[in-house]
A and B are shown apart, each in its own frame.
Chain A
Amino acid sequence: MSGVGQSTLVIVLPGLSTTVQDFGRLGWQRFGVPVSGALDRVALTAANIVVGNGSGEAGLECLYQGCEVEIAGESARLAVAGAGASIEVRDGDGGGARLVPSLESVTVQRGQRVRVKMAGPSISAYLAVEGGFAIAPVLGSKSTFVRAALGGFAGRALRAGDALGLVAEVALEREERRLEGVGLEPASVLRIVPGPQDDHFVDGTLERIAAEAYTVRAASDRMGLRLAGAKLAHKIGADIVSDGIAPGAIQVPGDGWPIIMLADRQTTGGYTKIATVASADLPALGRVGPGAVLRFEIVDVEAAEAAARALAAEIAAWPGRLVPAGGGDWRYRLYEANLISGVTDGTACSGAGVSRS
């Protein structure tokens, strides 16, 4: 290795479905181009804040299974965000393993390997790298839309051997940081706003959806979360003349089972939509997988808009919650906290986002 030229992040093991995602492609829906972007924008934002990036910089979205990567370059600073996610850093010979929890940065040297571990409950985890990926945006975004081979790395999910260019050739000289007090738990109750086609369903359908529990089906993907549970009945039929689809729209085809439209949703569609999930609850929906149970709570548009503003205000406060990372292993920090306080304080490692239960 000469050490000259662009640093890259090389995929050693791609995981089940790892793609480059940012906040998505806005402004092209009238030409049929889906928005795409991270299923969980909040976790992507958190990972970016930890490594010092702008909130919408592209990261790697790992679904269900983490990827393993190697740094071909001097050094790079990384962080993962996801409930139950962590990164394991090992030397090239497999030795010197250390575990870095979610929402904490780590600097990785040439030849070291990084494994994104996903212990659940979240099915998604985001790996951010300081400086971001040197990927040319397509239609204003680095997000991958696989069905049209658009954006990201060659328009597809990552494979072993792919080398992604990095903007930063070397990690900045500074302390590692941890983002405290950020919860990234999967959704269990979703606020929904009735409409646009709630009048196409038999009377009492909204009351019904609010009273029942729905289970996420295995057929779900980045396009839509398919649910099973009480069937919703149309007055006349499930078909309408196509209209626009909002993120989080709850589409109900003829079989009566709801589908919540996610990042890769088509721009327009011809099925009735009974309600729309509040945008503030969509990131947590990007964390749930097959078998998860969801409930719905009906709110009005104003309440959903207020929730969106509250979430934005909370995220705006996150940079102030960065603290020096201290010890490298969260178990060490927990031990240390116990020694100082004298009582077991389970929140001492809340940066992991999962251990607050």
Chain B
Amino acid sequence: MTLRFLAAGDTALTVELGDRAELGLSMRVLALYGRIVDEALPGVVEVVPTLRSLTVHYDPCVTAAATLRAVLGPLAAEAIASLPEVSAEEPGEWPPAPRRWLLPACYEPEHGPDAEAVATACGLTPWQVTSLHACVPYRVLMVGFLPGHPYMGDLPPPLRVPRRDTPRTAVPPGSIAIATTMTVIYPQESPGGWHIIGRTPVRLFDPARAEPSLLAPGDEVRFRPIGGEEYTALVGKVAVGTWAVEPETGEP
């Protein structure tokens, strides 16, 4: 694993731990994220973890890139050394998730228009695609792109397909989609190039909540398949505020 500092102008500095999307790499990024935040460095405005790097946003009137590099270098080396060596084949053991979520997911064709195409590409049946998707726990690796949009991994290997050749201009909110080694949920209607295989009635982003983003990096997410009727009923309850998903915390 090679640690690199990448210049990102005079208000940000990127700490790069690797250039691939791998579960083991994400684990290290999040470990380092925790260390940097705990350090509460003067002039650091916010720290944004991604799949393989962290971007440290700073105020150049308070600190400087050279100062941050001098502090972050040893910190990063220490955080990395404290974790066992990992590779794509040996992603390593994750620490226990701070929160575990069971999100209802409707995989009926109406809500998963790409399940059939994914099944064809993977040599599976649509039922096998959705069953495989729902049978493993995922970790939230990062939240980015748009408010509350989680990137979760890893997908079971039989389901790994590239992104769609032509992105959709409007993906409905709540859509559960897959591509490469990850699965995502679109919180708002937005353009999107991932394969949509289902939909959740859960609201992933709500600025009125104390924690607007439902999911945070490090969380564990599993999907609970539901039928179309339950999906519709839950959408109604979410809209009037009589139902919201709660996480389990503590040891599994």
Contacts and interface: CB of A to CB of B under 8 A. Distances in A.
A32 B145 contact: yes
Nearest to B58: A305
B57 A246 contact: yes
Contacts of B14: 196, 243-244
Contacts of B216: 31
Contacts, number: 158
Interface in B53-75: 53-55, 57, 60-61, 64-66
Contacts of A247: 9, 11-12
B64 A302 contact: yes
Contact of A268 (B8, B20, B142): B142
Interface stretch (B44-52, B88-96, B224-232): B44-52
Q: Which of A151, A244, A269 lies at the interface centre, i.e. has the most chain B CB atoms within 10 A of its CB?
A: A244
Interface residues of B, number: 45
B50 A244 contact: yes
Interface of B: 6-12, 14, 16, 19-21, 45-55, 57, 60-61, 64-66, 142-149, 188, 190, 205, 207, 212-213, 216-217
Contacts of A196: 6-8, 14, 16
A164 B86 CA distance: 55
Contacts of B54: 244
A336 B53 CA distance: 60
B178 to A, nearest CB: 16
A278 B148 contact: no
Nearest to B190: A147
A307 B61 CA distance: 10
Q: Which of A243, A248, A307 lies at the interface centre, i.e. has the most chain B CB atoms within 10 A of its CB?
A: A243
A33 interface: yes
Contacts of A33: 147-148, 212-213
A241 B51 contact: yes
A30 to B, nearest CB: 5
A244 B65 contact: no
Q: Which of A31, A34, A280 lies at the interface centre, i.e. has the most chain B CB atoms within 10 A of its CB?
A: A31
Nearest to B51: A241
Contact of B45 (A26, A34, A193, A273): A26
Interface string A167-198: 00000000000000000000000000111110
A244 B8 contact: yes
